[in-house]
Every structure is written in structure tokens, then in C-alpha cells.
Amino acid sequence: MVMQTSCNELPSMSSMSAQRSSGIVWLRRGVQTGFLLLFLYLFLQTVYHPINIVGGRATFFFDLDPLVMMTAWLAVHAVVPAMMLSLVTLAVTAVFGRWFCGWVCPFGALHNLLTGLRSGKLKTKLDSGGYSRWQRSKYYVLAFFLGGALVGLNLVGWLDPFSFFYRSLATVVFPMANLAAQKFFGWIYQVNPGIGAVRVTAVTEPVYEVLRRYFLAVRQPHYFWSLFIGLLFGAMLALNFLRARFFCRYICPLGALLGITGKNPTLRLVTDPSACNDCRLCVVDCQGGANPQGKAPWKPAECFYCWNCHSSCPSEAIAFRFEVPGRKAP
Amino acid sequence: MMKSELDRREFLKAGASLLALGSLAAPAAVMSIARYRSSPAAPDGIAEEAKRLTRQAIDALGGMGRFVSRGDVVWVKPNIGWDRRPEQAATTNPDVVAAVVDLCFQAGARKVLVSDNPCNEAVRTFPRSGIQPAAEKAGAQSFFLDERKFRKMALKGKILKEWEIYADAVEANKLINVPIVKHHSLTRATLGMKNLMGVAGGARNRFHQDPDNALVDLAAFLKPVLVVVDAVRILTANGPVGGSLADVKRADIVAASTDQVAADAFGATLLGLKPQEIGHVVEAAKRGLGKIDFNSLAPVMLQV
């Protein structure tokens, strides 16, 4: 299905049938969901309940995080052995590119989710989706943290994605959810609404018992600065409506590190210029702002390998191919 | 639907009069004291001792079937108050608790709840005392109390007119008190009646201003159907918190009684005290809650 449009005109929504997401995009969404749920599950393992012992796996994502490992090494010349897992992340990124951001990072998955809620207008999405030179700012953020660590000041927890996400969950989201649940189920218990012998508590009490046993805290958690942290968290999430995956593109120091590491991957995006009709739907859906269209050179350091471009392209002009960097395929 | 707290008291009164009638035919023992022949050192040995003593002490009263009926919901109230290990004798022996739970189920209980409103954080006391895992292993439900379920109840006592009491404990069919014998820095000893504080909520620290009357008000309101006194290990000094193993003594005894005053009086003697030296025991006897001279009840003495 080839669209006859001029260079700068986007196809209107009505002039093309809805493009269904490709299988690989669905696979990616499934994997992202899995890692996000894993992160939330591990988070719940650290809640002070019911036994004051944190399971060994709770640090899994932090162990995978090369930024945490590097800043720890720079600042105190010591790392926890489990942090060596982060070398795997670096190796995979160096060879295959920033798949971590597109498929594994749970904070990224959250931003991805919100980005998907942007207004349906293609023009809006195009404006908020294309590459911007401001995306270089995350490299300065990275330099700041690495430099600080070098002089013994490890502040990476301020903006490391897992630290940021975990801290927001622990000090803001979970306490709010806990309070809301207790207030709600407490209110139902006190009021005991119902008709005759049929009481709402017959349903809500068993539910509350499960929540109490497995999810809720024994004592309502209170944290200082939770308002500030909450506003910061809200702001980061809301910025996705300004630019797609704002945090990932402009702020994330881990993303910057992986971008540097993954500058010359073996799996590369190739555009077929003869098939491309300049509809720029690939740019609309691009998560990383990596110039998938091929008019400007594709930026592997910004590419999350989300495969949205490949899925959105109506003329199958985009493909990912294994190429040894520097040597073109015959 | 929430039952009023009077249902249980009426049921107990009815049960008591039935028992009185039954006792005309064959006098049932009111108290038993089971003593172990030896004092095993190994943990397995102590566990076995605790279980045997508990079973035989209750069997000597006619078995748990005398107290628990088929289909009953039983609230077992051990001392899970402190963040201490069983060896430190600040909390009830978990094997005594497990044995009580077993006997309840054997007597046909539908549900057994084992819980407490502790002084230290429940997340610490429940596992560290060993009681939560032991109770759950025996099939009981053992979980932290639900803050919503403390309800102001009319105790109509001398100084406690009304107080927050845990609804589930009062609404259960039977309440079994399972204290451990301990020294107490304020009341000189903490035994069964003091242990019942674990069913109360609110600002319980106020009880300590007049413990003699407050504790008896509470005991008179709750009236457990059975008291199982854990004296396998007892805390002889620095109670109720304890901590030092030097303060722990092996008495190797478990006693059972339907008379909560007699049970406390007996426990006091194990600490080297005269029952008359403990204010709330004297007050309880004065109010007719039981007999301070436990020997007059002709307790069944057992060598296990």
C-alpha cells in the first residue's frame, strides 16, 4: 500500500487503514511488561512485611545497572560482586545496541506507556517524536555523575532510573496506595453497607485479608520530602506528553552510558530509499528519537530497538540487519 | 453481622452451669500441674517435653473436648509481646502453643486464631518468638491484628468502664489463655491475667497506673475458658522484657486450670513469691474470680 503524498504532508488518519503492530512489537511490549512487573514484585519484597528480611534478589535491577557499578567503583574503589552482572549489560549493548532501554528498563517501560497516551494527532506526535539536539543533555548529566564519583561524591542515585523509580515508589506511591486501601476498606468495614443479609463486606473483607497479608505495610509508612519526590516523579511522567520518552532521551544517565557503549552496534537499521515514500510514520512512532527514516543518518546511540519504525512503515522500507560496523553488507 | 459481646458471656454462664450440674455426677478437675521427669538440654528434647506436658496437663482436666466443641472458633492467646527468642523466656514456648492448637483441632474446632497485640513490633515478635510459624504449622491462623477491629466495649469494671478490645477475640466461641511465667518489674509477676492485656488496644499503658484493678476488670470481662500456664522456661528477673539467658530458669512444668486466679497464684510460687504478694491476684480473689489457695482445688499432680 503506497501513499501518494507530497514531501511535507502527513497522511491523515482517515486516508490510511490502521497499521497493526507487528509481532515483534507485541513481543517487546510483553517483555517490557514482564520486567516492569518483576520490578514491582521485587519492590514489594523490600516492604517491611511480614518478616524483617530482604530477599537476595531484590537488588536484581541494580545489579544489572553498569552506571551503579561504575560510580561505585570510581567513588569507593569497591563493588558488590553481584554488580558484575552489569558487565553483561555493557557487553550486550556494545554488540547489539541499546536493547536494554527498549526491552528491559522498567522505568523506560513506564515512560513508554505514558508516551503511548499522547494525543492521537499525528502532527503532535511528529513534533514530540523527532530527534532533537537537546538529547545530548543526558551525556552532560552522565559526565556530572561520573565526575562527581571520581572525586568521591556518588550522587548517581538522584537520577539513575532504578533509584529514581524505586525511591518514588517507596516514599510516595506505596504509602499513598497503602493509606488509600486502609481508609477505603476501613470505611466499608465501619459503615457495613448492604441490603438485608447481603453485605458488601462479604466481598471486601476477603480481598482486604489478601492485601494485608501480601501487599500492605504493617504500619503506615511516612517519609520526609515525599511531597517533593512525588512532584518530581509526577513531573517526569508528565513530560512524556511534551516529548516522547522525555526522561530516557534527555535526562537518563544510564541511557547516556548505554548510548556511548552502543554507538557501533552490529544490528543496524537500514532504510530502502526506493521504498520510502516520506510519510514519516516511522518518526511519529520512534521512541528514542533516532532518525529512523534514513534521510538524516540513523543514530544508533539513541535507538532503543523498539521496532516501532519497522512496524509502522506501510511500505516495508525499514529493516534491521546484522552488519559489522565499517563493512557494508555485499 | 457483629455479635454483641454479651453473647459469649451468656454462653459461658450457660456452660458453667451445665458443668456445675455435670460436676455433681463426676467432679471434673479444675486444675492440673504436669512436671517433667528430666530437664533435656537439646532443642528437640525441650520441644518434646513442652508438647507432652501440655497434652497431659489438659488431658488431666478431661481433655480439650471439655472446653472446645465441634465447629468452634477458638482464640488462643499466647504471649507474643516481645522481640525475643524462645530460649529467652519472654514469650510463650512455641511448642506449648502448637500443642494447644493441635488439641483444639482434635476436639473439632473449625478455626483456631493465634495472635496478640504485642509491645514490640509484631513483624519482629511473631517470627522471632517462634509462635507464628509453629501455630501456622499446626494449622492455625496466626497474623498481625487488624487495627480496624479494636472496638470500644463496656467492661463495666471498677476503673475500666469501657475499653478498646479486639473484636475477633471476644467474638470467638472460646478464649484460651496461654501465658508464660515471668517476673515483672512493676507488678512483680506477669502471668495469665496480665497476659490478657494482649487483647486490649488503645492507650494500654494507662493500665499500669492501677494495675490491680485494671487487670482484674479485664480478666473479669474476658473470662478465658482455660488457662494453660507455660512454665517450661520461666523468667526469674528483669521481666517482662528480659533478654539475658542468666535470668531464665527451667521449671519444666505446664499447668492447666479453669480458675484463672489459681493459675496465677501457682505461677507466682514458681518465681519464689507468695500469691498474696501480687496485687492483682489478691484483687481478683477478693472479687470472687477464683481461688488464691490453689491447693484447695486439689490439683491433679502429674509426673510426665
Dist. CA A30–CA A46, nearest whole Å: 25
The DSSP symbol for B110 reads S
List the single residue in B with minimal CA-CA distance to A50.
B123
Chain B nearest-CA distance from A38, in A, is: 25
What is the dihedral sign for C-alpha A49, A52, A56, A58?
positive
Domain assignment present for residue B5? The answer is no
**Residue B20: per-residue pLDDT:** 62
Q: Which of residues 123-142 of B touch A (CB under 8 A)?
A: 123-124, 126-127
Domain that holds residue B51: 28-303
Of A12, A327, A43, give the one whose Cα is nearest residue A169: A43
pLDDT over 70 (residue B230): yes
Dist. CA A78–CA A96, nearest whole Å: 28
Q: pTM higher than 0.95, yes or no?
A: no
Domain assignment present for residue B15? The answer is no
List the single residue in A with minimal CA-CA distance to B1.
A197
pLDDT over 70 (residue A282): yes
Chain A nearest-CA distance from B259, in A, is: 35
Question: A94 and A266 in contact (C-beta within 8 Å)?
Answer: no
**Residue A263: per-residue pLDDT:** 94
When mean pLDDT is compared over A109-123, A296-310, B93-107, the highest value belongs to B93-107
- Residue-wise pLDDT for A37-74, tens only, equals 999 999 988 887 655 556 668 899 999 999 999 999 99
Test mutation, B131, B146, B150, B168, chain A, max A CBs within 10 A: B146
When mean pLDDT is compared over A9-18, A71-80, B4-13, B128-137, the highest value belongs to B128-137
**Residue B26: per-residue pLDDT:** 61
Total structural domains within chain B: 1
Are B127 and A50 a contacting pair at CB < 8 A?
yes
Return the HEC string of chain A.
CCCCCCCCCCCCHHHCCCCCCCHHHHHHHHHHHHHHHHHHHHHHHCCCCCCCCCCHHHHHHHHHCHHHHHHHHHHHCCCCHHHHHHHHHHHHHHHHCCHHHHHHCHHHHHHHHHHCCCCCCHHHHHHHHCCCHHHHHHHHHHHHHHHHHHCCCCCHHHCCHHHHHHHHHHHHHHHHHHHHHHHHHHHHHHHCCEECCEECHHHHHHHHHHHHHHCCCCCCCCCCCHHHHHHHHHHHHHHHHCCCCHHHHHHCHHHHHHHHHCCCCCEEEEECCCCCCCCCHHHHHCCCCCCCCCCCCCCHHHCCCCCHHHHHCCCCCEEEEECCCCCCCC
Q: Cβ of B245 under 8 Å from any chain A Cβ?
A: no
pLDDT over 50 (residue A172): yes
List the single residue in A with minimal CA-CA distance to B83.
A52
CA A141 from centroid of its chain's CA atoms: 18
Are A212 and B143 a contacting pair at CB < 8 A?
yes
Question: A19 and A1 in contact (C-beta within 8 Å)?
Answer: no
Are B148 and A190 a contacting pair at CB < 8 A?
yes
Q: Measured between beta carbons, which residues in chain B are less than 8 angstroms from residue A186?
A: 147-148
Are A50 and B146 a contacting pair at CB < 8 A?
no
Are B123 and A51 a contacting pair at CB < 8 A?
yes
Domain ranges, ordered by start, for chain A:
20-160+233-322
**Residue B76: per-residue pLDDT:** 98
Question: What is the ipTM for the molecules in this complex?
Answer: 0.74
Question: Once rounded to an integer, what is the mean pLDDT over residues B269-287?
Answer: 97
- Residue-wise pLDDT for A238-280, tens only, equals 999 989 999 999 999 999 999 999 999 999 999 998 999 888 8
Test mutation, A47, A48, A52, A195, chain B, max B CBs within 10 A: A52
Residue type, B14: A
**Residue A92: per-residue pLDDT:** 96
**Residue A144: per-residue pLDDT:** 97
When mean pLDDT is compared over A16-25, A39-48, A75-84, B235-244, the highest value belongs to B235-244
What does the block give as the cell for B304?
Answer: 510426665
Residue with cell 510514520: A281
Domain assignment present for residue B6? The answer is no
pLDDT over 80 (residue B174): yes
For residue B276, the domain's CATH number is 3.40.50.11440
Are A48 and B127 a contacting pair at CB < 8 A?
no
